[in-house]
Structure 1
Amino acid sequence: MTTTRTLSTRALNRAVLARQLLLARADLPVVDAVERVLGLNAQSPNPPYLALWSRLAGFVGKELTAALEDRTVVRSVLMRATQHVVSVADFALIRSAVAPLFRRVQRNTFGSRTRALDLDALVAEARELLAGGAVLTRPELGRALAASRPGADASALGWTVQYLLPVVHPAPSGTWNSYGATPFELASWTGVRAEASAESLGVLVRRYLAAFGPATVGDARSWSGIAGLKEIFEQLRPSLRTFRDEAGRELFDVPDAPLQDEDEPAPVRLLPDFDAPLLAYADRTRMMTDDIRRQVCVGDGVAATVLVDGTVAATWTLATAKGTATLTVRPLRKLTKADRQAIEPEALALLAFAQPDSTHEVRIEP
């Protein structure tokens, strides 16, 4: 299946937009959509709702809330050790694969504060505390574990358990506007395994390519945080298509994924902060220029963005005061009059979804 065909940056852009349901809103059930895009970033409660609103026709927020409540989707720490909403099957697949990453994160972040502790015993005690469907918040669990470990840092213990023991964060955590301490529940009911097999890593690579490809090995590593993927790609090579990007890098793709015409029109879309297409690659130029990336990805943050002709053209923020919800667009490149006219109705529609009881105003800065 190897080819020497070179795909332009614009062609790669149209491919990810189509696979991420951003060329046209899809008519899909929530769980199917979450699986199609391979998870929604959920660092805070509302971005998954906004991400689905931008991707699904007629999306109603209570549909995602119901899926979180009936546990057909779950919220937990996953790719890159950040919070995501995924289907139960994808949680089991991904959580096993990122287990080595989590051990490394725990060691690098909390190793000095837990060095004197038996971490296996800590995890075993946490499992007992959470047995039988018990739910404890991270601070509650940390304090309970610290009670039998004089001088231990309760906060470090709670975070350590999150990284070393598969847990999910049950509703109402992760539902619209639900903030507060993160609750823990054992994830054993999901079928998650302690470690991933080479076969399951191969499944995950193919799922990544179906959702974000064509992509390089480095792209998959940046999306997931998983080391050692080069060997998995090589094992899969006979069953994958390969291309080159404009810089000459080798790209992999699943054989049955369509590639859109690079001239296909792309509608304006407002993406929430940390939306996946902005984070799914080592080289993010298919979504934004390097100069714009430096303005969007600041420190550990990734701003909410406006896509115009498929790439990042602006950031947006939403603020409510005295009954008026105002969505402010801050351009990062020149916007034409037609661009501004296309942004306004999409922004007003988002306001109607996110703030239905407020009056609405859209401001597009110079």
Structure 2
Amino acid sequence: MTVLDTRALNRASLARQHLLKRSDTSVPETVAHLCGLQAQEPQEPFIGLWSRLSSFKPEQLDDALTGRAVVRTHLMRRTVHLVTADDALAWRARHDVMLRQRVLGTYRRELDGIDLDEVATAGRVIVADQRPRTMGELVDALEDRWPGPPRRALGELLVAGLIPMAQLPPRGLWHRKAGVRNLPLTTWLERDIAPLPADDSDPVGQQLLRRYLAAYGPAASADLRAWCGLAGLPAAIKAVREELVAFRDERGRELLDLPDAPRPHPDTPAPVRFLPAFDNAILGYHDRSRIIDTPHLGLSVAGHRTMLVDGRVSATWTVRDHRLRISPLRPLTVQEEDDVRAEAQALTTFLEEGIEHIQLDTAD
């Protein structure tokens, strides 16, 4: 079985994430290809799309959100994601058990003894009037019946675990600050959620595997599970295994992939790319060594914006006081510094935040 080293895996991931070469696909097409963008920080998907699309303009994502082609909703790993309307409706039922379990895992003591079906039924009655509500307003309507749990626990149970919700614009629009207003996903999209099949065939799990490999592969089954948070995937993997090719990484793990997916030569040049906080190019794996070094793994979950140099996380970056500050994690060559400054200048133009200075620090 062919062994793919870390650099080969890196270039394959970058190619599929549109980080080797910017794509000319539309925003909905890109969001679909990437299987969604992590979006708990509302402005971050704009940066992720700018780094991946050749002519991206913020109004393109705004239009996709207001036009309901893409939607903000809790999905993979119980995290708010920006996904296409089609994927939200197709995937949501398969995520229901995981979403509920993760809320209960977080608030097990606070929600002990709560009848989840009763809460869900009461919640659906409240939202039946199709009026967008904040999580606080939803809790207010239920607090007389369930006064015991903390408001946060009851609210997250409703909006992330029991009732599929969309977070409505202006939340998530370019340079807009807006709180979360929730509306049932089916009400906002005016379509029903696809039900799970009556048998154990798990077509959604099989689709998720294929789609995940197209955007993240080659990858191990542990990577797929870490990305989506779902249980029961071994059966889906077994069902489509004959369609796939297999490799091994340098640690001996089996990696699965689509036969015709791009796997560029390891020496393929990788341009500088600025990534937003919580970018799935990093978080979409259990083993993130293909893109980030072990000493820096904490950056990927702490909300730091990162920068790729030669395909790997090599710096963090911030915007504050009209200054784009780049803090390298390793010494950069003269050529790398030039490339960083050139991409940073393009980023300052895109951000439209009145950035007057680019500060490139020296690595510790």
Per the normalisation by structure 2, the TM-score is 0.93
Identity %: 38
* Partner secondary structure for residue 111 of structure 1: coil
- C-alpha separation between the residues in 2 aligned to 1:41 and 1:264? 27
For residues 17-43 of structure 1, the C-alpha deviation after alignment (integer angstroms, 9 at most, x for no partner) is 111111111111110111111111111
SS class of match (1:113)? coil
- What residue is the counterpart of 1:80 in the other structure? 77
Q: Shift in Å at residue 152 of structure 1?
A: 4.4
Q: Distance in 2 between matches of 1:150 and 1:99?
A: 25
Alpha-carbon separation, structure 2, partners of 1:132 and 1:29: 34
Q: Post-superposition shift, 1:115?
A: 2.3
1:360 aligns with 2:364: no
Residue in 1 that maps onto 2:179 = 181
Residue 90 of structure 1: aligned partner: 87
Does residue 1:239 correspond to 2:271, yes or no? Answer: no
With 211-220 and 160-169 compared, the bigger mean Cα shift is at: 160-169
Q: Helix, strand or coil for the counterpart of 1:313?
A: strand
Q: What secondary structure, in the 3-state scheme, does the structure 2 residue paired with 1:57 have?
A: coil
Q: How many residues align?
A: 355
Query: Which residue type is aligned with residue 304 of structure 2?
Result: A
The CA distance in 2 between the partners of 1:111 and 1:180, in whole Å, is 30
Q: How does 1:148-159 map to 2 (within 5 A)?
A: 148-159=145-156
Match of 2:275 in 1: 271
For the pair 1:248 / 2:252, whether they are aligned, the reply is: yes
Given the alignment, which residue of 334, 339, 360 partners 2:336? 339
CA offset digits 1:303-329 (Å, max 9, x no partner): 21110011111111111x3xxx21111
Distance in 2 between the 1:234 and 1:201 partners?
Answer: 11
Q: In structure 1, what is the equivalent of residue 101 of structure 2?
A: 104
SS of the aligned residue for 2:108 comes to helix
Question: Which stretch has the larger CA shift, 233-242 or 46-55?
Answer: 233-242
Question: Match for residue 311 of structure 1?
Answer: 312
Gaps of 5+ in 2: none
How far residue 202 of structure 1 moved from its aligned partner, in angstroms, is: 0.4
Unaligned runs of 5+ in 1: none
Partners of 1:259 and 1:251 lie apart in 2 by 13
Q: Does residue 1:27 correspond to 2:28, yes or no?
A: no
Whole-Å Cα distance in 2 between the matches of residues 256 and 302 of structure 1?
Answer: 34
Cα deviation, 1:317-352, whole Å, max 9, x if unaligned, reads: 111x3xxx2111111112111111110121121111
Task: Name the stretch that deviates more: 123-132 or 73-82.
Answer: 123-132
> Structure 1 residue 126 and structure 2 residue 130: aligned?
no
Moved more, 127-136 or 79-88: 127-136
Amino acid at match of 1:118: D
1:214-264 superposed Cα distances (whole Å, 9 cap, x missing partner): 100000011111122222212211111111111111010112212111111
Distance 1:106 1:347 in 2: 39
- What corresponds to 2:262 in structure 1? 258
Q: Give the Cα separation in 2 of the matches to 1:308 and 1:149.
A: 52
Give, in whole Å, the separation in 1 of the partners of 2:111 and 2:312.
Answer: 44
TM-score by length of 1: 0.93
